[in-house]
């Protein structure tokens, strides 16, 4: 019985345990159990019951992985099937390196075929492999040509060997002005390289087309001589610089155009000598300023022929009218009658009675004071008429579409004075303007075409530096031809007996007009001018030379530089006088 009883007791306990597992847990049991929980770290999930992951989460993850797999499969198909050929070709192309074949830049010659700029075999511009050699630009060593020729910048590449500038670029002078003509069309070569960058093969895809050569109207020998004479006068007599232009009065072709001081085109193009480049850039004498084109100067008495043209045309004066140059004029001062305003001429004691021809020849300030502003019984033109005629001959306006298109300059006007100084215009301002002083500023290029207009009888030309270019007339100044002739006679008389007598030479008849423009309030310095044309009877060439900022005491200036040049030309270039 004991054994059977033990068995029965076991099964009863088993049934009670099974019943407890399937039954609800009562609160008292929870409280009893919680009091027996060991010291678990619940922040690390110790002693917590694990819960199974819900099936919805598994289904969601499965969908996400399925979508990602679909995207990868689609992209693989796109790369391999749809665009496989394209990407394969791109891979092939990556092995082909395009290399430029630089076109030869056009050479520059002077009017007589003398080379001024050309290409030479590369001495340092080629790459290590020689695949993209760049011909180096070489320039004539003749002095006085820098501002006409200019210089270039070479094609340049970055540190990765790619060209960010694959053409020559003209920086100044003819290299810049004629850049589109001188620049050729680069060719191209395809170079095949292997994975190690070794050249496997190469072939020319497109051959280069060379730039065009250009013949300038410049006579390099005449220009160099003019430069040398300007330089010598400047260094000997204390001028800070100077410039000169000689131009054909019928075609506008510039025979010489030079500026002192100048820079070295070779140094600036090569840029291999850093010290030399720095010295050029920091030169206080401004060698990069093209004084003939961009220099603005007070003109002084060289404006008198254009004022005379206006006075004759408007009937303010006639050829026979004389005005007595006593050396000064006195204008009553309405505010202080005891202190009249005195305007003096350049010669103490005066030049005596003068007609318009002799007034031009002797450069009489007193005569032109009276003609411009009026004095005594002489009616004046007035500032508006003076401005009109100076501007009619191209002073105070930019030259259009030309190598010598520099700044416009300025002709003094009441509006300019009001805007600049907020002051009214006085009679004395008119007197100063009529002799080329006060605020008037011009360039030598403006002056040479103005005097050429007097010489050719009214055609205001657009100057050119290209030989054989069709003449361009900006406008025809339709003033009476007899007035042009009277002014030409006055300029010729100036060379025979007047202020331009330095140009009286035996081999041609020169007509000229000198000018000495006083600078600053102290008038301690001057610009020295000489302008004119030759031959007088049948004008062919006009000229303008200015020597910049010299001492008032100088008796040697622009006329001496031009005279030396004419003398040299009579021996070494006599064709200009035939």
Predicted local distance difference test score (pLDDT) of residue 99: 74
CA–CA distance, 168 with 153 (Å, rounded to integer):
6
Predicted local distance difference test score (pLDDT) of residue 38: 56
Do both 207 and 236 map to the same domain?
no
Do both 69 and 149 map to the same domain?
no
Q: Could you tell me the residue range of the domain that residue 64 belongs to?
A: 55-84
Q: How many domains does the chain have?
A: 3
Predicted local distance difference test score (pLDDT) of residue 339: 85
In a domain, 60, yes or no: yes
Phi, psi angles (nearest 5°) of residue 491:
-70, -35
Predicted local distance difference test score (pLDDT) of residue 357: 97
Do both 211 and 224 map to the same domain?
no
Strands 541-551 and 241-248: antiparallel
Of residues 146, 82, 154, the one with CA closest to residue 117:
146
Do both 178 and 132 map to the same domain?
yes
**Virtual torsion, Cα 117, 118, 120, 125, nearest 10 deg:** 70
CA–CA distance, 386 with 307 (Å, rounded to integer):
6
Taking phi over 0 as left and psi of -120 to 50 as alpha, with beta for the rest, 192 belongs to beta
| Structural tokens at position 1 | 């019985």
Identify the weakest region by mean pLDDT among 197-211, 332-346, 516-530: 197-211
Do both 194 and 257 map to the same domain?
no
Give residue-wise pLDDT tens across range 433-470: 999 999 899 999 999 999 999 999 999 999 999 999 99
Q: Which of 175, 200, 215 is the last residue of a domain?
A: 215
In a domain, 194, yes or no: yes
Contact of 185 with 103, CB cutoff 8 Å? yes
Q: Which residues contact 210 (CB under 8 A, 6 or more apart)?
A: 103, 104, 105, 106, 184
Supply the pTM of this predicted model.
0.80
Q: Which of 215, 248, 275 is the last residue of a domain?
A: 215
Do both 211 and 241 map to the same domain?
no
CA–CA distance, 329 with 438 (Å, rounded to integer):
18
In a domain, 20, yes or no: no
β-partners of residue 98 are 190
In a domain, 77, yes or no: yes
From the DSSP assignment, how many helices (H) and strands (E) are in the chain? 19, 22
Mapped onto helix, strand or coil, the DSSP state of residue 310 is helix
Of residues 399, 402, 400, 397, the one with CA closest to residue 413:
397
Q: Mean pLDDT over all residues of the chain? A: 86
Percent of the chain with pLDDT over 70: 81
In a domain, 405, yes or no: yes
Mapped onto helix, strand or coil, the DSSP state of residue 498 is coil
In a domain, 33, yes or no: no
Q: Which residues contact 346 (CB under 8 A, 6 or more apart)?
A: 363, 365, 516
Do both 328 and 296 map to the same domain?
yes
Mapped onto helix, strand or coil, the DSSP state of residue 186 is coil
Give residue-wise pLDDT tens across range 408-435: 999 999 999 999 999 999 999 999 999 9
Q: How confident is the model at residue 266 (pLDDT cuts 50, 70, 90)?
A: very high
In a domain, 26, yes or no: no
Predicted local distance difference test score (pLDDT) of residue 126: 39
Do both 331 and 362 map to the same domain?
yes
| Structural tokens at position 108 | 């520059």
What CATH number does the domain containing 452 carry?
Answer: 3.40.710.10
Do both 296 and 336 map to the same domain?
yes
**pLDDT reading at 225 higher than 50:** yes
- For residues 519 and 573, which has the higher predicted lDDT (pLDDT)? 573
Strand arrangement, sheet containing 541-551: 254-260, 241-248, 541-551, 525-534, 511-519
| Structural tokens at position 127 | 């790459």
Q: How confident is the model at residue 166 (pLDDT cuts 50, 70, 90)?
A: low
Let me know how long the chain is.
578
Give residue-wise pLDDT tens across range 509-547: 999 999 998 887 777 888 999 999 999 999 999 999 999
Phi, psi angles (nearest 5°) of residue 238:
80, 30
| Structural tokens at position 107 | 């050479």
Q: Which residues contact 478 (CB under 8 A, 6 or more apart)?
A: 458
Token pair 């070569």 in the structure block, residue = 189
Q: How confident is the model at residue 128 (pLDDT cuts 50, 70, 90)?
A: very low
In a domain, 31, yes or no: no
Euclidean distance between the first and the last CA atom of the chain, given in angstroms as a whole number: 164
- Other Cβ atoms within 10 Å of 107 Cβ, number: 19
What CATH number does the domain containing 177 carry?
Answer: 3.90.1310.10
Q: Which of 189, 215, 241 is the last residue of a domain?
A: 215
CA–CA distance, 554 with 528 (Å, rounded to integer):
9
- CA 320, 437, 557, 279 dihedral sign is negative
**Virtual torsion, Cα 530, 532, 534, 535, nearest 10 deg:** -120
**pLDDT reading at 30 higher than 60:** no
Of residues 344, 313, 320, 318, the one with CA closest to residue 330:
344
Do both 148 and 261 map to the same domain?
no
Do both 434 and 339 map to the same domain?
yes
Do both 253 and 185 map to the same domain?
no
């Amino acid at each position: 019985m004991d054994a059977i009883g033990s068995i029965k007791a076991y099964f009863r306990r088993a049934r009670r345990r099974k019943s407890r597992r399937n039954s609800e847990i009562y609160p008292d049991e929870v409280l009893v159990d919680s009091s027996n929980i060991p010291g678990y770290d619940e922040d690390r999930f110790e002693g917590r019951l694990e819960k199974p992951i819900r099936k919805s989460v598994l289904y969601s993850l499965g969908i996400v992985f399925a979508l990602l797999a679909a995207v990868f499969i689609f992209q693989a198909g796109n790369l391999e099937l749809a665009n496989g050929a394209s990407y394969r070709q791109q891979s092939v192309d990556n092995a082909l390196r395009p290399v430029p074949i630089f076109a030869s830049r056009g050479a520059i010659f002077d009017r007589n075929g003398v080379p001024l700029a050309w290409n030479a075999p590369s001495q340092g511009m080629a790459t290590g492999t020689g695949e993209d050699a760049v011909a180096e630009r070489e320039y004539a060593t003749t002095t006085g040509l820098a501002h006409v020729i200019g210089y270039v910048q070479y094609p340049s590449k970055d540190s990765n060997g790619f060209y960010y500038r694959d053409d020559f670029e003209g920086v100044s002078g003819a290299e810049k002005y004629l850049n589109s003509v001188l620049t050729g069309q680069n060719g191209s070569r395809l170079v095949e390289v292997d994975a190690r960058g070794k050249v496997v093969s190469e072939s020319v895809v497109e051959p280069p087309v060379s730039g065009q050569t250009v013949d300038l109207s410049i006579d390099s020998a005449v220009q160099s001589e003019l430069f040398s004479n300007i330089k010598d006068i400047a260094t000997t007599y204390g001028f800070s610089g100077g410039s000169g232009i000689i131009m054909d009065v019928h075609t506008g072709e510039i025979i010489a155009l030079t500026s002192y001081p100048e820079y070295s085109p070779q140094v600036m193009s090569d840029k291999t000598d850093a010290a030399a480049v720095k010295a050029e850039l920091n030169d206080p004498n401004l060698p990069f300023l093209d004084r003939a084109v961009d220099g603005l100067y007070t003109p002084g008495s060289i404006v008198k022929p254009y004022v005379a043209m206006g006075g004759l045309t408007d009937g303010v004066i006639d050829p026979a009218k004389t005005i007595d140059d006593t050396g000064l004029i006195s204008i009553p001062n309405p505010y202080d009658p005891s202190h009249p305003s005195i305007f003096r001429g350049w010669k103490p004691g005066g030049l005596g009675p003068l007609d318009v021809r002799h007034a031009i020849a002797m450069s009489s300030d007193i005569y032109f004071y009276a003609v411009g502003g009026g004095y005594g019984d002489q009616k004046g033109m007035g500032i508006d008429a003076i401005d009109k005629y100076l501007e009619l001959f191209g002073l105070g306006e930019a030259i259009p579409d030309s190598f010598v298109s520099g700044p416009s300059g300025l002709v003094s006007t009441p509006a300019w004075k009001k805007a600049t100084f907020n002051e009214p215009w006085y009679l004395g301002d008119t007197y100063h303007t009529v002799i080329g002083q006060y605020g008037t500023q011009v360039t030598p290029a403006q002056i040479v075409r103005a005097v050429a207009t007097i010489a050719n009888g009214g055609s205001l030309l657009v100057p050119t530096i290209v030989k054989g270019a069709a003449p361009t007339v900006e406008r025809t100044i339709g003033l009476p031809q007899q007035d042009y002739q009277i002014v030409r006679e006055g300029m010729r008389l100036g060379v025979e007996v007047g202020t331009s007598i330095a140009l009286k030479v035996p081999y041609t008849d020169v007509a000229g007009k000198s000018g000495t423009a006083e600078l600053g309030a102290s008038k301690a310095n001057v610009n020295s001018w000489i302008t004119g044309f030759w031959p007088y009877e049948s004008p062919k060439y006009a000229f303008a030379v200015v020597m910049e900022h010299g001492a008032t005491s100088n008796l040697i200036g622009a006329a001496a530089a031009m005279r030396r040049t004419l003398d040299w030309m009579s021996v070494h270039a006599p064709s200009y006088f035939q």
